Each structure stands twice: as C-alpha cells, then as structure tokens.
Amino acid sequence: MRPTYEYILQPTPTRRVSFGRTELLNLGMALGALTLVFVLVWLNPLFGRVVLNADTLGIIVVSSFIAVLTGFLMHEIAHKVVAVRYGLWAEFRADRRGLLFAFVTAIFGFVIAAPGAVMIAGPVSLRQSGKISAAGPLTNLGFGGTFFAILFAVIYFHVAIPQFLGFLIVQITMVNLILGTFNMIPFPPLDGSKIWWWKKPVWAGMFAVFVVLLAAFFIYV
C-alpha cells in the first residue's frame, strides 16, 4: 500500500521552522520517556552490564538523555525541517501507546520504539514524501556512523578516555543505530515504508548500511 497522509485543517504553513507549545510538550514527553527506556535497558539485571552505584547511575542517565537528543530529537527535527521547506505544515505528536510499548520491551533488555511522528498537512508528492521520510534515518546514520568510527578507533588503538565519555560514545552510537534501523523497516507507518515506495534502491542502500553498522557495533562492544 502506498503511503498516505491525513490532511487536517491547519493554519497556512510558512517555510520558517517554529515550534508551538503543544509540539514542545509532545517532544518533551517523548524525549523524557525514551531517556528512561534506555536507562532501563542498561540497568536490566538479566544482563548485568553495569555495576550500579550513584556515579554509574548518573552517567547512565545523562548519557542516555544526550544520546536520545541526537537519536530521537534530531531525527524528528530533520523530518520537520524538510517538510517545512516544501511548504507543508509539520508538527510532532507523541504516541503514548508506542512509548508504553518501548517500556515493555526495555524490561527484556532491548528497545522497539515508536515514540510518535511528525504529522504533515498539505499536498505532498511521492518524491517529497520519500525525502521527508529519509531525512530522519539519515540523521541517525550520520550520528551513528560518526560515533561508531570514534568508538572503533578508541577500542582499536587502546585510547584511554574518561568513563563518562566512553559511555556517552557507546550510548550515542547504540541509540542512533537502533532507532535508525527500526525506522527503516518497510512497513507503515515507519519511515522505511515511504522510502521504499519512493525509491527502493535508496531504501536498500540505507537499510544495508544500518544493518552492517548495528551488527558491527554488537560484535565489537
């Protein structure tokens, strides 16, 4: 099924990116919830990944928040920026059921997150839809790929770095690769479905890079 958008009556859009109170509240809700989700993953006793104390907990919380800023917030802003430049109305809305499901999966040590989406109103072509959808995962690919390269260099060359910095690099890499890979699944309403219908070779290339990076991350880390 080709991707569709629900057109809703909104004020006439401009090409200036701005954020209203409702959108900021939705972004804040999703940002806070996803931060807690990734904190739960690292604290999961089934895996015993960390020795918990006050310092470690602080590192996990702060690094998770920063990682979610790059992996989730920048992803959604990228969607919005591209949509607005096409002259469309675009605002993020959180999905409470998706956030709740993310908490449930985190209990078992992994994350399946659909925190919400940028809602779009206005006439949009298949090409525009594909580019708007690709903007988010490409942001994840940029952050995830860059920080994976840094992480690989640190491990390969045995570079001594502070504990917080090391954990932050791991978190940013993991969050971006997990969220980006999940969003590339070609089923509605995920980004991958719209990219698939726009240009399958683009989808295949992006998805392959995500899978390779994610597999390499879990092998090396």
177 vs 155: CA distance, rounded Å:
18
Q: Is 164 helix (H, G, I), strand (E, B) or coil?
A: helix
Tokens of 84: 């607005």
Tokens 């993953």 sit on residue: 41
Answer yes or no: 76 catalytic: yes
Task: Write out the H or E segment, with its range, that includes residue 116.
Answer: strand 116-121
Q: Choose, from 6, 23, 76, 91, the residue flagged as catalytic.
A: 76
The answer to whether residues 34 and 100 touch, using CB atoms and an 8 Å cutoff, is no
| Structure tokens that stand for 126 in this block | 């298949």
- Please identify every residue annotated as catalytic: 76
